[in-house]
A and B are shown apart, each in its own frame.
Chain A
Amino acid sequence: QSVLTQPPSASGTPGQRVTISCSGNNSNIGSNYVYWYQQLPGTAPKLLIYRNNQRPSGVPDRFSGSKSGTSASLAISGLRSEDEADYHCAAWDDSLSPFWVFGGGTKLTVL
């Protein structure tokens, strides 16, 4: 059971816009930045979005992140076949013993 909640799957057709949600609580998303990772099949996670909505160099602007209260979203516009991957959200949790928490991951299928 992951601390952050993501839908297990999402899908879209090429060119579409899809969003993936990530829900937490006041000790994690509600008080800290949210990060998103893309994990292509058989590879390591790659940082996609940092500090809620910032893109590392090289990440296309088709990917965008947002946060509101204790929830966050990743949006992918102009969906492409190569976007088919698992997407994970993460945040620091300010509980008694602070630590990183992840979502369960969302498998995105491009139909």
Chain B
Amino acid sequence: QITLKESGPTLVKATQTLTLTCTFSGFSLSTRGVGVGWIRQPPGKALEWLALIYWDDDKRYNPSLKSRLTITKDTSKNQVVLTMTNVDPVDTATYYCARSPGYLDLWGRGTLVTVSS
């Protein structure tokens, strides 16, 4: 059974750095073709893809947020970490991680992050 779970702070202050961790099980991020991505959804709004890291450590970022994002993986711990610098209240959203065997197929339940001013 494949599961993904997001964890991190529920509340951060504007200008701070947000660090989120995706802990997964049931698959390996050392398997060729596999990746883990992050997607967010502000309350009542659309999904927005943030970043993706592949088994070979290739990384892709949303061009509009690239300067603020860093994605890393720890294959031995089955974890993927996303950091977002200089957060703003507009970054308030539910943050999801998802497995990607070429597309985003299985998602975690998400974690709501509120950015206060």
Contacts and interface: CB of A to CB of B under 8 A. Distances in A.
Bound pair: A and B?
A: yes
For chain B, the bracket of interface size reads 20 to 34
Contacts, number: 55
Nearest to B65: A99
Interface in B74-88: none
A67 B105 CA distance: 19
Contact of A35 (B37, B96, B104): B104
Contacts of B63: 95-97, 99
A47, A56, A100, most chain B CB atoms within 10 A: A100
Given A95-B63, A102-B49, 17 more contacts: A2-B46, A37-B47, A43-B109, A44-B108, A45-B47, A45-B107, A47-B103, A47-B104, A51-B103, A96-B63, A97-B61, A97-B66, A98-B60, A99-B62, A100-B49, A102-B48, A104-B46
Interface of B: 37, 39, 46-49, 52, 60-63, 66, 96, 103-110
